Structure 1
Amino acid sequence: MDSSSDDELEQWLEEEEEIAAADDDLYISIALLAEAEEEEKRNKKKQRGAIPGSTVVPRDRRRFRMSKNLFLRIVDEVESHDDYFRQRANAVGLLGATPVQKIVGVFRMLAYGVPADNVDDVVSLVESTMNEAFKHFVRAVVEKFGEHLRWMTQQVYLL
């Protein structure tokens, strides 16, 4: 090989290295931009509430727990006391809400102080059914467990 072809080859190799380095820089830049966009998405606060930019007051996140056996005992006692809580078929033959569904909704209303229309996401029952279940539940508990209940004292009213 002559020196001119060696020079051309060296020049061509240098150009290829420069192009490869530029491509590497481009790929690195694209990767950094993509990573920055993902980080921005993770850190961006989600819009909450109906009005953009409005502040939402955080709710108390306490969770009230009860043993499964106690809950099922209450369900059985209330179901045996009031026929409203029995699962029945409607006119078409489809089964209605289960006693557990109704009583879970009632317990959520009592424990968290939420209205009946807020528990429909959890138990899939409409507001009117939950209100009716609430009334039946309170009557059944007072009639069935009344001897174990105590009257509210003045201290409870002050809380």
Structure 2
Amino acid sequence: MGRHVFLRIVDALSNFDPYFQQKVDALERKGPITFTKFTAAICMLAYGIGTDAVDDYVCIGTSTAIECLKKFVTNIILIFESEYLRKPNSNDVQRLIKMGKARGFPGMMGSIDYMYLQWKNCPKA
């Protein structure tokens, strides 16, 4: 994920839900920052790792990691549903078919991964 995409999502989440903003508890201790909560949720989703591995990586508790994931998924749907989580319109379909054709896959609207293809510039990876 590019830095600008990461920062855009973090900004959108922290502006939408106060849960993703850093708070101070009753003992004047600062809680987890937005990046920590966001990173915990992304790691669990992207790598399919459990809360124990997230705890080792970003030093966040199990219950907090689970809560972060639930709120992250719910808020991402609420914030970005109308822009990204919608059915493609005719312009989107034409653009995706054109991209597929340029990549050597005529008629394909998109692809999840290309990991099993042998690339000209990277024949062994």
TM-score range, shorter chain: 0.5 to 0.7
Residue matched to 1:109: 44
**Identical counterparts, % of pairs:** 38
| Aligned-pair CA distance for 1:150 | 4.2
Residue matched to 1:73: 8
Residue matched to 2:92: none
Q: Which amino acid aligns with 2:32?
A: A
- Please give the alpha-carbon distance, in whole angstroms, between the structure 1 residues aligned to 2:58 and 2:11: 18
Q: Which amino acid aligns with 2:74?
A: R
CA RMSD, 1 decimal? 1.7
| Aligned-pair CA distance for 1:105 | 0.8
The alignment status of 1:121 with 2:56, answered yes or no, reads yes
Residue 26 of structure 2: SS of its match in structure 1? Answer: coil
Residue by residue, what CA displacement relative to the aligned partner does 1:72-112 show, whole Å, maximum 9, x if unpaired?
11000011111110100011101100000000111010100
| Aligned-pair CA distance for 1:117 | 2.0
The alignment status of 1:97 with 2:32, answered yes or no, reads yes
- Please give the alpha-carbon distance, in whole angstroms, between the structure 2 residues aligned to 1:132 and 1:122: 17
- Please give the alpha-carbon distance, in whole angstroms, between the structure 2 residues aligned to 1:119 and 1:73: 22
Alignment of 1:5-24 (within 5 A): none
Moved >3 Å (runs of 4+): none
- Please give the alpha-carbon distance, in whole angstroms, between the structure 2 residues aligned to 1:79 and 1:138: 14
Count of residue correspondences: 88
Residue matched to 1:139: 74
- Please give the alpha-carbon distance, in whole angstroms, between the structure 1 residues aligned to 2:86 and 2:52: 29
Residue 31 of structure 2: SS of its match in structure 1? Answer: coil
Which structure: greater helix fraction? 1
Residue matched to 2:93: none
